[in-house]
A = this chain, B = another copy of it.
Amino acid sequence: MSTPFELTMKVRDYECDMEGIVNNAVYQNYLEHTRHEMILSRGISFAELVEQQIHVVVARADIRYKSPLRSRDEFVVTCSARVEGLKIFFDQEVRQLPDRKLCVQATFTCAALVNGRLAAIPELTNKLIDVAD
């Protein structure tokens, strides 16, 4: 399992819906952006992966909504990765600042496709999960 990665963001007004709370789909934007920033922070280059015909795809998103964020709330999105067989799991949370109240808990199941087939990509997964552990 990887060291958790964290990204701090702030709700933008256009992300809120008629009820004055962040729309459910927008959390997926926050979660995706954080996964991508985590992957970059581990020195993984999407461009190089794509050159090798490797595509990392989301197979499943399991998102539990606990408490809504509102206009101008600041929050942190966490991300840690684990690998089981050919699957890469990203466990993520959205927590409202300053008290880190849990807003959203999610697990994304991803897989690497090479030429459209599931494949193990150690150069990807090793970087993702802190091989030193």
A residues contacting B by CB (< 8 A) are: 12-14, 16-20, 23-26, 28-29, 32-33, 36, 40, 55, 57-65, 71-72
Contacts and interface: CB of A to CB of B under 8 A. Distances in A.
B17 A24 contact: no
15 contacts: A12-B33, A13-B32, A13-B36, A14-B25, A14-B29, A16-B18, A17-B18, A18-B20, A25-B26, A25-B28, A28-B28, A59-B65, A60-B62, A60-B65, A61-B65
B20 A25 contact: no
Nearest to A28: B25
A125 B72 CA distance: 22
Contacts of A33: 12-14
Contact of A25 (B17, B19, B25): B25
